[in-house]
Structure 1
Amino acid sequence: MTAADLLAGDFATLPDLLAAHARERPDKVALADERGTLSYAALDRLAARIAASLQREGVRAGEAVAIVAAPSTDYAAVFMGILYAGAAATPISPSATPAAIAGMIADSGARIVFADAVNAAALSGETLPTRVVFGASFDAWLAPEDARPTPVSIAPEDAFNIIYSSGTTGKPKGIVQSHAMRWQHLSRNSAAGFDEAVTMIATPLYSNTTLVSFLPTLGWGGTAVLMGKFDVGGYLALAERHRATHTMLVPVQYQRLMAYPGFDDHDLSSFRFKTSTSAPFHADLKADVLARWPGFLVEYYGMTEGGASCALNCTAHPDKLHTVGQPLPGHEVRLIDDDGNEVAAGEMGEVVGRSPAMMNGYHGRDGATREAEWHDAEGRRFIRHGDVGRFDADGFLILMDRKKDLIISGGFNIYPSDLEAVLAQHPAVADCTVIGVPSADWGETPVGVYVAKGGATDEAETIRQWANERLGRTQRLSALHRADELPRSAIGKVLKRELRERLLGTVA
């Protein structure tokens, strides 16, 4: 069956699509990084060898296989090889602490973990399953050049990947996404031109933000250009050199690019389709991108767990830049109150959504899965988005605030309770909280406030550095303030909004 036939059907797997592209366009570049390129034929052969090697190691269909590494063609090939074996790719954030990474791997049940040299060294003190390190160790582990895996049958409901939503607490949640969910991400991009795309991948491959752009690029037969680490000058030079057509960036990356003095000196006329998601995208920044960067700009609003997704075609609706757009076809958004009842038209409520693209659930955590769900009067399953919003008169969703106190910094989710748990362990801290405040560089940044134990003389900066040594790189506190007491409600809840208002005059 041809790739076109597969893409025109009701369901296809990514391994079948890659194999079809390898037959039909063997020399087309599938992947590029700073070291070189992989054609579709080469990617198919390498993914098949990886899958055969995994099967040799006893990896079964549906089993998790972990990856802890920076983006590279090796990383991408391993991700595809895991899928070829019918297993569940489990990309782990390298920015979490080594102990947290080990905990996520253990939670997934993975018996094999792939790592690059840097992360293998960082994890050397942790008890981990079999490690395969990119480089000589990886080459020696691989099956022979012509090896192919024993064919596996993949059903739509089978696990495609497990993505972890948090990386520092003892019980992070693994979001299980199915092949059917990923097929929805592929099929909904039929008009986005990914078949001839050269897509800049400038965010980590463990992030769903990245995968919703990276996977359609390969599924439709385009080229994915992988950046190991984002920097503005490097991104612009790489995009110009490869004549990039597509990209997915988080808002803070757009902010840094548009503020770069040499931005307008680069030829970006090849761009046709730019997208953004994961964090608030301010209207004035969208307007600047529209004015100075060629190609369509589309903002997506959704969540890794699925639910519903909204899209704002900023190019077509410049008067709606303060919104996140309208629900995609086949996606349904409702707004509910604290009692779980739908609110009246125009009123504000918690966002819940349903669509064909919804997670199977949280890995091994049925209770947490049930807590994330809401059912309508007909018993249909919706996913709680955790945000509060309202629809305008034209059906565009306006986000008002987050229901929970999630901090989004540079496109990454930071949970204050994780940081508070670390900060509270310091012997000089009697009480503490962490809030998100606006940041020119990151969109938001975590700031701590603590109450000192009687007699403690430790300086706030000393405590902040102590905590940051124990936190993941993306979680570190940008500031720590000492207070006589924390403002609390009558039932003892810290009034974070009040505390944030107090600090906004002094924290940048």
Structure 2
Amino acid sequence: MTTIADMLAADHGVMGDILRARAAEAPDRPAVVMETGESVTYAQFDALADRVAAALQRDAVQPGEAIAVCALSSIPYAAVFLGGLRAGVAVAPIAPSSTPEAIAGMVADCGAKLFFLDAGVAEAQKPAPIAVRSVALDGSSAGEAFDAWLAPEGATPASVKIGPEHPFNIIYSSGTTGTPKGIVQSHGMRWRHVYRGDAIGYGPEAVSVLSTPLYSNTTLVCFFPTLAGGGTVVLMKKFDAGRYLELAQKHRMTHTMLVPVQYRRLMERPDFDSYDLSSTHLKFCTSAPFAAELKREVLERWPGGLVEYFGMTEGGGTCILMAHEHPDKLHTVGQPAPGHDIRLIDEDGVQVGPGVVGEIVGRSGATMNGYHGRPDKTAEAIWTSPEGWTFIRTGDVGRFDEDGFLTLMDRKKDMIISGGFNIYPSDLEAVLVLHPAVLEAAVVGVPSPEWGETPVAFVALKPGQAADPAEIKTFVNGQVGKTQRLADVVIVDSLPRSHIGKVLKRELRDSWQKSPTK
């Protein structure tokens, strides 16, 4: 008889099968809990996923075809995701914060047979209506009511054979650098995230509080391992620092995934230390640069380990920093994960050695199938090594130290070339935040008739602080090389960010160029 331990130790597994096994093992254990208190047990969640899968098969959605989901996190959302997987269907989770035109474009691009949404998305989508049959997860008038669409209670789907190469989900890039691309992740790729779960404590006693959205890969790398391990997922629709702390304390949270800006907001709360977070086993972070000083503060004030992942939704290679084990390496993103080959290449595609800056490329068993319907873009994302192996190009620039830890410099596209010299915005941003009035900063390159490009800084000030842009500029330029000097400093209320906390530098460049005082 195959045990759950055997299933999790296998080279390949299927999330739908693991969910069914967990439901048989502990039917009354909570699987998904909403911040409002609504919850489903493993038995209920498994049955709901069955009804979703049976309804998809009833509607002739074939294995390998896609469905799209665009809504805030909820139990029906999670059930649609798991039910779609059980039916062999690729799930395309889409960010509600996208423009109506972008949502319509992504639904069309993935060829979705059904579109699952909520009232908020339906209202925002009016300028670009979706032609695909819609189902309202919240029972609103946004589409056919979810409960009415579901197959009857007790329905079970026909068994579907799912191989490691079959599409699991299609996650769209944020579109911050152009048209979103559909990243096709396979069941085999996702299994790599589940496979390592036991080693980091994803067992039946695990409780993961997740405030990042279900349409983000950031969330899914914790969501699925928690369920595969038989633990409980606590979902928030939107992040609120106070509410997050209440939930973490109430549910005796063991695991969580947060982006850097969320860690900063939590650390800024005057009442942070009054919450009992002693149950925390591991905290994770990914998706955006994580300042060394912020990591240090989290380690000092929050029990449990701190793990930073550096990688891409496209996969390829991942670096892991066990910050609690390497407090002297907090300025890095760690070392390549076991079985991951991370290398650096120069502008000509030639590999460079330790201490030399280069573009980061990676290779592992966790790699996307490709960009959906975009073989040209897939080809652009690949670097082939001298051995003939294919690596995914990250577009990030970094440097390995003598111990094999990787320090990130910048996105390659964000590197500024001024008068023939390379300027890394992160170097300037590190100096900017040393100013006593500066909370956070972003540096972008703008056109310069004299130098080709020149750096401009956008800074947000600490609450209650005031500073003159010229004074900040003098502060920085007195500490950097001549070629790095800032041309301008702009004070803003806050830096524009994506839903996972990445600073939208393109918006900053555009705003500077449109400014009448530039």
Q: Quote the Cα distance in structure 1 between the aligned partners of 2:381 and 2:309.
A: 21
1:364 equivalent to 2:348? Answer no
Q: Quote the Cα distance in structure 1 between the aligned partners of 2:342 and 2:84.
A: 34
Q: Quote the Cα distance in structure 2 between the aligned partners of 1:257 and 1:399.
A: 24
Q: How does 1:29-108 map to 2 (within 5 A)?
A: 29-33=30-34, 34-108=36-110
2:133: which partner in 1? 130
SS of the counterpart of 1:153? coil
- CA distance 1:151–1:172, change in 2 (3 Å): same
- CA distance 1:346–1:308, change in 2 (3 Å): same
1:235: which partner in 2? 244
Which letter maps to 2:218? T
User: Would the aligned equivalents of 1:66 and 1:112 in 2 still touch at CA under 8 Å?
Assistant: yes
- CA distance 1:373–1:481, change in 2 (3 Å): closer
User: Would the aligned equivalents of 2:212 and 2:500 in 1 still touch at CA under 8 Å?
Assistant: no
Which letter maps to 1:225? V
1:15: which partner in 2? 16
In the superposition, the TM-score normalised over structure 2's length comes to: 0.80
SS of the counterpart of 2:197? coil
User: Would the aligned equivalents of 1:100 and 1:169 in 2 still touch at CA under 8 Å?
Assistant: no
Q: Quote the Cα distance in structure 1 between the aligned partners of 2:5 and 2:135.
A: 35
Q: Quote the Cα distance in structure 1 between the aligned partners of 2:164 and 2:280.
A: 33
Q: Quote the Cα distance in structure 1 between the aligned partners of 2:348 and 2:511.
A: 36
Q: Quote the Cα distance in structure 2 between the aligned partners of 1:68 and 1:304.
A: 18
1:2: which partner in 2? 3
- CA distance 1:439–1:147, change in 2 (3 Å): farther
SS of the counterpart of 2:157? coil
Q: Quote the Cα distance in structure 2 between the aligned partners of 1:377 and 1:227.
A: 46
Give percent identity, aligned residues only.
56
User: Would the aligned equivalents of 2:288 and 2:501 in 1 still touch at CA under 8 Å?
Assistant: no
Q: Quote the Cα distance in structure 2 between the aligned partners of 1:169 and 1:108.
A: 20
2:511: which partner in 1? 480
Give the superposition deviation at 1:472: 13
- CA distance 1:439–1:208, change in 2 (3 Å): farther
Give the superposition deviation at 1:436: 7.9
- CA distance 1:482–1:175, change in 2 (3 Å): closer
User: Would the aligned equivalents of 1:100 and 1:170 in 2 still touch at CA under 8 Å?
Assistant: no
Alignment counterpart, residue 152 of structure 1, candidates 157, 160, 176: 160
Q: Quote the Cα distance in structure 1 between the aligned partners of 2:240 and 2:130.
A: 33
Which letter maps to 1:37? S
User: Would the aligned equivalents of 2:287 and 2:501 in 1 still touch at CA under 8 Å?
Assistant: no
1:246 equivalent to 2:255? Answer yes
1:433-485 per-residue CA deviation (whole Å, 9 max, x = no partner) reads 998845569xxxxxxxxxxxxxxxxxxxxxx9xxx9xx999969579346799
Q: Quote the Cα distance in structure 2 between the aligned partners of 1:36 and 1:273.
A: 25
Q: Quote the Cα distance in structure 1 between the aligned partners of 2:271 and 2:130.
A: 47
Give the superposition deviation at 1:327: 0.3
1:27 equivalent to 2:28? Answer yes
Give the superposition deviation at 1:167: 4.1
Give the superposition deviation at 1:86: 0.4
1:271 equivalent to 2:272? Answer no
1:315-343 per-residue CA deviation (whole Å, 9 max, x = no partner) reads 01000000000001000101000000011
Q: How does 1:67-466 map to 2 (within 5 A)?
A: 67-125=69-127, 126-136=129-139, 137-167=145-175, 171-195=179-203, 196-405=205-414, 437=458, 439=460
User: Would the aligned equivalents of 2:286 and 2:309 in 1 still touch at CA under 8 Å?
Assistant: yes
Give the superposition deviation at 1:111: 1.6
Give the superposition deviation at 1:8: 1.6
Which letter maps to 2:202? F
Give the superposition deviation at 1:118: 1.4
SS of the counterpart of 2:399? strand
1:363-406 per-residue CA deviation (whole Å, 9 max, x = no partner) reads 00000000000011121110001111111111100111210239
User: Would the aligned equivalents of 1:52 and 1:85 in 2 still touch at CA under 8 Å?
Assistant: yes
Unaligned 5+ residue runs, structure 1? 409-413, 418-432, 442-463, 487-502, 504-508
Q: Quote the Cα distance in structure 1 between the aligned partners of 2:235 and 2:461.
A: 26
User: Would the aligned equivalents of 1:96 and 1:472 in 2 still touch at CA under 8 Å?
Assistant: no
Q: For structure 1, which segment, 95-104 or 134-143, has the greater mean C-alpha deviation from structure 2 after superposition?
A: 134-143
Q: Quote the Cα distance in structure 2 between the aligned partners of 1:157 and 1:17.
A: 18
Give the superposition deviation at 1:120: 2.1
Which letter maps to 2:511? L
- CA distance 1:9–1:277, change in 2 (3 Å): same
User: Would the aligned equivalents of 1:97 and 1:167 in 2 still touch at CA under 8 Å?
Assistant: no
Q: Quote the Cα distance in structure 1 between the aligned partners of 2:147 and 2:169.
A: 24
- CA distance 1:299–1:436, change in 2 (3 Å): farther
Give the superposition deviation at 1:283: 0.6
Q: Quote the Cα distance in structure 2 between the aligned partners of 1:485 and 1:234.
A: 41
2:482: which partner in 1? none
- CA distance 1:261–1:94, change in 2 (3 Å): same
Q: Quote the Cα distance in structure 2 between the aligned partners of 1:314 and 1:383.
A: 25
User: Would the aligned equivalents of 1:103 and 1:170 in 2 still touch at CA under 8 Å?
Assistant: no
SS of the counterpart of 1:5? helix
User: Would the aligned equivalents of 1:104 and 1:167 in 2 still touch at CA under 8 Å?
Assistant: no
In the superposition, the TM-score normalised over structure 1's length comes to: 0.82
Give the superposition deviation at 1:190: 2.3
Pairwise CA RMSD of aligned residues? 2.9
Which letter maps to 2:403? D
Q: Quote the Cα distance in structure 1 between the aligned partners of 2:405 and 2:500.
A: 36
- CA distance 1:472–1:255, change in 2 (3 Å): closer
Q: Quote the Cα distance in structure 1 between the aligned partners of 2:457 and 2:133.
A: 38
User: Would the aligned equivalents of 1:101 and 1:167 in 2 still touch at CA under 8 Å?
Assistant: no
Q: Quote the Cα distance in structure 1 between the aligned partners of 2:306 and 2:336.
A: 17
Q: Quote the Cα distance in structure 2 between the aligned partners of 1:180 and 1:60.
A: 20
SS of the counterpart of 1:194? coil
Which letter maps to 2:14? T
Q: Quote the Cα distance in structure 2 between the aligned partners of 1:348 and 1:472.
A: 27
2:142: which partner in 1? none
Q: How does 1:486-505 map to 2 (within 5 A)?
A: none
- CA distance 1:472–1:229, change in 2 (3 Å): closer
Unaligned 5+ residue runs, structure 2? 140-144, 416-424, 427-441, 446-453, 463-491
Which letter maps to 2:243? G
